[in-house]
Amino acid sequence: MLLRVLAIIGRLLVAAGVLLLLFAVYQLWGTGLVEAHSQSVLRSELAPALPAGAGGQAARLAARPPGATGTPAAAPPRAAPPLGGPVGVIDIAKIGLDQVIVEGVQAAQLRTGPGHYPGTPLPGQAGNASVAGHRTTYAHPFYDLNELEPGDQIVVTTPQGIFVYADRQSLVVPPTDVGVLDPTPSAELTLTTCNPRYSAATRLVVHAALVRSLLFADVPRARSPGATAPGRREAGGLAGDGGGGAGLPMVLWGLATVLLGLAVWLLGRRVRHRWALWLPGSVLLLVPLFFFFGALSPLLPASF
Give the tens place of pLDDT for each residue, 203-218: 999 999 999 999 997 4
pLDDT digits (tens, 9 = 90+) for 279-292: 777 778 888 878 78
3 state SS of 193: strand
Max Cα–Cα distance, the chain, nearest Å: 84
Reported as a pLDDT band with limits 50, 70 and 90, residue 293 is confident
Give me the pLDDT at residue 302, please.
56
Is the pLDDT assigned to residue 230 strictly greater than 60?
no
Backbone φ, ψ for residue 194 (5° rounding): -70, 150
Is the pLDDT assigned to residue 301 strictly greater than 60?
no
Beta pairing class for 161-173 and 115-116: unpaired
Give me the pLDDT at residue 65, please.
77
Beta pairing class for 153-158 and 188-195: unpaired
Give me the pLDDT at residue 190, please.
98
Reported as a pLDDT band with limits 50, 70 and 90, residue 41 is very high
Is the pLDDT assigned to residue 219 strictly greater than 50?
no
Give me the pLDDT at residue 260, please.
80
Mean pLDDT confidence for 215-240: 55
Q: Rounded distance, CA 162 to CA 69, Å?
A: 13
- Residues linked to residue 1 through DSSP beta bridges, in sequence order: none
HSE-CB of 154 using CA atoms within 13 angstroms? 28
Give me the pLDDT at residue 258, please.
82
For the chain, percent of residues with pLDDT exceeding 70: 82
pTM beyond 0.85: the answer is no
pLDDT digits (tens, 9 = 90+) for 123-172: 999 999 999 999 998 889 999 999 999 999 999 999 999 999 999 999 99
Is the pLDDT assigned to residue 117 strictly greater than 90?
yes
Q: Which ranges in the chain belong to alpha helices (H)?
A: 2-25, 31-46, 54-63, 107-110, 247-270, 274-296
- Least confident residue range of 68-72, 144-148, 186-190, 202-206: 68-72
Burial class (CB in 10 A: 0-12, 13-18, 19+), 264: middle
Give me the pLDDT at residue 274, please.
66
* CA–CA distances in Å: residue 274 to residues 12, 18, 36, 268: 19, 20, 37, 5
pLDDT higher for 196 or 275? 196
* Axis-axis angle for helices 274-296, 247-270 (nearest 10): 180
For the chain, percent of residues with pLDDT exceeding 90: 49
* CA–CA distances in Å: residue 231 to residues 83, 125, 129, 209, 285: 16, 12, 11, 19, 48
Give me the pLDDT at residue 226, please.
41
Backbone φ, ψ for residue 245 (5° rounding): -110, 165
Give me the pLDDT at residue 267, please.
76
**Rg of the chain in Å (alpha carbons):** 23
Mean pLDDT confidence for 183-195: 96
Give me the pLDDT at residue 224, please.
41
